[in-house]
Structure 1
Amino acid sequence: MQLDKITHILAGAAIAAALLPLGVIPALLAVLVAAVGKELWDAQGHGTPDLIDALVTVAGGVAMLGWLLYAAPFFASLQTGVFR
């Protein structure tokens, strides 16, 4: 995977994680605004606009929210008495 795509995934994940305390919808909207805004900035001559970049940014945010809201609590519930 290209480094550029990895940075977009991580950026989306970081934005989502940072804003999750405000709610799921605000976190997702922030990721979407950042993804589209970055590509609009690139389209103004500051880089190479790429729809896939925007999509992977959003995918990173969605994946992080999925992890924080569902996967992490599920795995935490599986811990034995040793780790409680």
Structure 2
Amino acid sequence: MQLESLLSASYDAAVVRHSGANPMEIGFTYSLSPRGAVYPFSEIEVSCIMQDKFARRHGPGLCADFFAELERKISKAVAGRQ
């Protein structure tokens, strides 16, 4: 499984958990940026981005769920390749 699909699936799971059928009501997205010094994508940074008006109410829980879901999916993908 590719990283892009792991990110999308983690995003979808977190959004559904926090917004039900109204994902646009929470103003949440993520970004992915290269951080590697020699090979740009040898290290990456994933950021959780919230609109200001939703950040205080939804931000901590939503971002925590997103990263927990992403960690589970990456661990499962890595375990399947060993």
TM category, shorter: 0.3 to 0.5
Higher strand share: 2
**Higher RCO, 1 vs 2 (CA within 8 Å, ≥6 residues apart):** 1
TM-score by length of 1: 0.40
Under a length normalisation based on structure 2, what TM-score does the superposition of the two structures give?
A: 0.41
